[in-house]
Structure formats: C-alpha cells, structure tokens
Amino acid sequence: MKAIIKLEDVWKIYELGDVKVEALRGLNLEVYQGEFLTVFGKSGSGKSTSLNMIGALDIPTKGRIFLDGKNISKLDESDLAQLRGKKIGFVFQTFNLIPSLTALENVMLPMMFQDINRDERVNRARKLLEDVQLEHRINHKPNELSGGERQRVAIARALANDPEVVLADEPTGNLDSKTGEEIMNLFKGLHKKFKKTIIMVTHDLGLTKYSERTYILKDGKVIKTVKGAITKEMIT
C-alpha cells in the first residue's frame, strides 16, 4: 500500500524565553493512500502539533516529512501554502466559515485561489453541497445554519479543490452527540464515495470506531498503532 504522507523522526521544539518545550519527540507515522486514519491523544500529547506537520501548516525542528514522496520539511511558507491549496482540504472544530458569505460562496472560495472560472466554481460548489445534503441551504449564511449544517458546509469546502487528503481537526468538538454522529457517518459515506485519504485528529475515544486505523500519541510520539476502535485500557 502506498504511503501518501510519511513522518520520519519528527521533532518540534518551541523556545519560550529560556524554556524549550518539546511538543514532538521523534514522531514516526505513515498515512496510506485512501485510508481513514485517526491520530488520537489526550491534551498535551502532541496531536495538535502533529496536525500542523501532517497538514503542512508548519515545518519540523528536525526530522523529515514526505508528501507524495516529496520531502516538504524545508519548504518556505509560500510553497507550503501552494501545496496545501492543491493537496489538502481542512475541516476545523470551529468551522472557520466566512460570516458574510453564503454556504455556496464559502464552498466556492478555495477555488478562487486555484484560478478556476466562476461557472465551474458555482457548479462544483452546488454539487458538493448536494453531496453533504445541503442543497436546500445554499443561499443561507453561517448564522442562519445549525452547527451540524455549518460543519457540512466546511466539509464541502474541504473537498472544493479535489484534494488528495482531507484533514479533520476535532470535527465534532462543537456539536452535540447526535449531530456529531451524523457528521461522522457523513465522513464515512464521503470516504467510501470519493476514496479520499481522511486523517482525523481527536481526543474523543468514541470517534476511533469510524476509522480503519489509529495512532495513539503520548508525550510527542506514537506509543501504539491499532486497527479499528481503541479502548481506555489501550491508553492507560
């Protein structure tokens, strides 16, 4: 199976005055093309920093990160931004929608930065909102949508540029349990339909049942890899 993302002995050290904080300490992981993977960890485990590395949002202090076989560890921010725009779609806990734009316009937005013409942007955004069952809400702005509907718009937006990888950061964190379950089932359905590589970062034990494989992080490194759901006993 092809590894689409690979982290090799990745360290991230933040210097806060005279204090050095080791957020990642030799992180090694592989993400295979087309899989649904979870990176699980409690607060302070390094999962947020690992998300920044996997999503090309930051570069490591040392170690190497490969995307599609290319070492991206030393790229500057402008090159990383181009890479993110083409290769990675993001779904955030706080939705990050533009309040003044409709659902349709929010989904169209990432395509503007890839020089896609307006007609194609409109058509593709409409189709994606249909895929997330929001065709009846395309002209509504975020403050007119429920939390679950906002997350559906965010998922459609993440797919706008047909990325190879979708990275979901605590995607149910701001939702009630019923809506969270609906969003996770939507992820599963879209994963099956589009064959995208999905990486979910979470501290919620219950969400690991939706993925095919889980990396468990502790103190900035992987302590265990599990197929399917994980239990409390595995992380104690």
Condensed to tens digits (0 to 9), the pLDDT of residues 165-174 reads 999 999 999 9
Count the domains in the chain: 1
Task: Evaluate whether residue 147 is within a structural domain.
Answer: yes
**What's the CATH code of the domain at 95?**
3.40.50.300
Q: How far apart, in whole angstroms, are the C-alpha atoms of residue 97 and residue 108? A: 12
Task: Evaluate whether residue 7 is within a structural domain.
Answer: no
According to DSSP, the residues that pair with 12 across neighbouring strands are: 24
Task: Evaluate whether residue 66 is within a structural domain.
Answer: no
Q: How many CB atoms lie within 10 A of CB 74?
A: 10
Residue count of the chain, please give it. 236
Task: Evaluate whether residue 63 is within a structural domain.
Answer: no
Local confidence band at 149 (pLDDT 50, 70, 90 cut-offs): very high
Q: pLDDT per residue over 91-121, tens digit each? A: 999 999 999 999 999 999 999 988 899 999 9
Task: Evaluate whether residue 70 is within a structural domain.
Answer: no
CA distance between the termini of the chain: 31
Q: Are 207 and 169 in contact (CB under 8 A)?
A: no
Q: What percent of the chain has pLDDT over 70?
A: 100
Domain with 136, as residue range(s), is 36-57+80-234
Q: How far apart, in whole angstroms, are the C-alpha atoms of residue 49 and residue 68? A: 21
Q: pLDDT per residue over 32-68, tens digit each? A: 999 999 999 998 999 999 999 999 999 999 999 999 9
